[in-house]
Amino acid sequence: MKVIQLKHEDRFQSKPNHELIVIAENIISLENVGSIFRICEAMGVKKLFFAGTWPDLNNRKVKKTARSTQELVTHETIGSSSEIIPELRKEGYIIYALEITNGSLDIRTVGFLGSQKYV
């Protein structure tokens, strides 16, 4: 089997049937920020919000890890997630928080509906 690397413009043969917004709060690792951009671009994220504390998004390490996806993913910086979540709820988004704790549920067990809007 021949492995072919997709170009950014080839990442979706059709548009995703969901709307997904990501809020990354208090992410300070330069490499993690770059990786978040790459994941969001690969998943067709509509918008990425950086909330709380975040590094300079124009930092060389962020750009190197992001591999130009920071130019493709619509993003914004905000003070905290509490600024935007009430507005997104009014717009019909279902809000999920991801964190690993003793009481966490496995995200793979969540029944995502194709046409819903998620944060």
Q: Tell me what pLDDT residue 17 has.
A: 58
Helix (H) / strand (E) element for 32: namely: helix 30-43
pLDDT tens track, the chain, 119 positions: 676 666 655 555 555 556 889 999 999 888 888 999 998 998 889 999 999 988 888 888 888 888 888 888 999 999 999 999 999 999 999 998 888 888 888 877 777 667 789 89
The CA distance from 43 to 105, in Å, is 21
Q: Match 């130019």 to its residue by tokens.
A: 71
Picking from 17, 14, 36, 11, the residue whose alpha carbon sits closest to that of residue 25 is: 36
* CB-CB contact of 46 with 16 (8 Å): no
SS3 content of the chain, % helix, strand, coil (to 5): 35, 15, 50
Count of other CB atoms within 10 angstroms of residue 101: 6
